[in-house]
Amino acid sequence: MVDYRQVRVSTPYGEIPQDAFQRLEIIQARIVVGVKGELWSPDKLLRRAVWHKRDHIQHIHKLLSMNEQQTQSKE
């Protein structure tokens, strides 16, 4: 089990380095708590969010297509 008090997600603004590569290292080192206490990187969190968004959009397109077919069959 993850001790949520030990997980630090953000960096105080004053501690953010000016060098882009150092900033990238800090960002990639951060951990986000995901489902059931699983530790996720920020990259994984973004990938999952994008995947879910795309999945929902595809589902909406499928529903609209089914509705259009039903409407056409009634005419």
Which tens digit of pLDDT belongs to each residue from 9-32?
Answer: 556 667 778 888 888 787 777 766
Please indicate, yes or no, whether residues 10 and 28 belong to a single structural domain of this protein.
Answer: yes
Buried b (16+ CB within 10 A) or exposed e, 55-64: eeeeeeeeee
Q: What pTM, to 2 d.p., does this model score?
A: 0.51
Please indicate, yes or no, whether residues 19 and 36 belong to a single structural domain of this protein.
Answer: yes
Please indicate, yes or no, whether residues 26 and 52 belong to a single structural domain of this protein.
Answer: no
Please indicate, yes or no, whether residues 55 and 24 belong to a single structural domain of this protein.
Answer: no
Between 65 and 72, the more confident residue is 65
Question: Residue 57 sits in which domain range?
Answer: 43-75
Cα distance between residue 37 and residue 55, in whole Å: 24
Residue linked to tokens 């999945």: 55
Q: How many domains, the chain?
A: 2
pLDDT at site 69: 87
Cα distance between residue 60 and residue 62, in whole Å: 5
Q: Give the H/E segment covering residue 24.
A: helix 20-29
Please indicate, yes or no, whether residues 50 and 74 belong to a single structural domain of this protein.
Answer: yes
* In contact, 38 and 23? CB cutoff 8 Å: no
